Amino acid sequence: MEYRALGNTDLNLSVVTFGAWAAGGWMWGGTEQNNSVEAIRAAYDHGVTSIDTAPVYGQGLSEKIVGEAISDIPRDEVQILTKYGLRWDTDKGHFRFASKDNHGNDIDMHEYAARESVMKECEDSLRRLGTDYIDLYQIHWPDPTTPVEETMEAMDRLKEQGKIREAAVCNYNVEQLKEAEQYHNIVSNQVPYSMLQRDIEEDVVPYCIEHGKGILAYSPLQRGLLTGKMEPGQDFSEGDHRADNPYFSDENIRRTNAFLEKIYPIAEAHDATLAQLTIRWTIQQPGITIALVGARNEEQATQNAKAADIKLSDEEIATINSELDELELDLG
């Protein structure tokens, strides 16, 4: 495993970080708690020390699973990354979308990062995680209803209290990063990035490189599409958000699989799976600090961790990028 310092901090993260969204079941058609705990522990056994979660993942379930999984591990040997600002239990803030919880009940998502809300969320997360501090505390989505200064003042207070080590953001554009940075040291930005979704290369990546900010790439496997294991007519479980996602149309699955066939010889040369090749490509891209990768079981977690053992040459990266330039998806 490799470890990289996050931005301008002494916080070192494993380049393959366990992404615990699917562990919470919400929007993934449910979860098996024991399997998720075992997956996190298997990842740790293979050098994955960083775990990224959020309160909204299963409405608290993902954080509880993470807490259980790390309960027997010395706290200073793992880095807990969690979030705030996406609430399902209040109608305050900015309505984002309607959803259903793991039990099929209707819930509404609100972006809300007012000071008192942030302080409450932090206490709730600490309790669910079974810890007294969070290594990286990230606003989940920008909240257009709360002044950024107010949200960042909460970060100041939490850091003074020792409840968080560092503050970060997710899903911020460059202008939003600049604004937040006026009030608190923002050490990283967590954004979607994969072979199929590279828009951050235009402005977010150059800005973060220039200003010493880390980039946490989420969905590097494009939610499973880049594993090569999906086929047209893919059957998704009830409640799985991918069923209506344009990336998973039959035609886009066909086009993606054709691309993966072209780069498979590179994976084969490294005795690697397509998923491992994709993860390694991601963490070798300019400005990318780590890749967040989910796993449903021990085997997936172990395979993901082993992606860090691969080293791609400049020529192999160029070959992959050349094939990507030829790939066109119909996203509507």
Question: Which of 27, 97, 11, 98 has the alpha carbon at shortest distance from 62?
Answer: 27
Q: What distance in Å separates the CA atoms of residue 319 and residue 193, rounded to the nearest whole number?
A: 19
Enumerate residues 6+ apart whose C-beta is below 8 A from 300.
39
Q: What distance in Å separates the CA atoms of residue 103 and residue 166, rounded to the nearest whole number?
A: 34
First to last CA, the chain: 39
Task: Label residue 120 exposed, middle or buried (CB < 10 Å: 0-12, 13-18, 19+).
Answer: middle
Strand partners, 246: none
- Structural contact between residues 287 and 215, judged by C-beta atoms closer than 8 angstroms: yes
Catalytic residue numbers, as ranges = 57
- Sole residue written with tokens 């495993």: 1
Kind plus residue range of the DSSP H or E element containing 216: strand 214-218
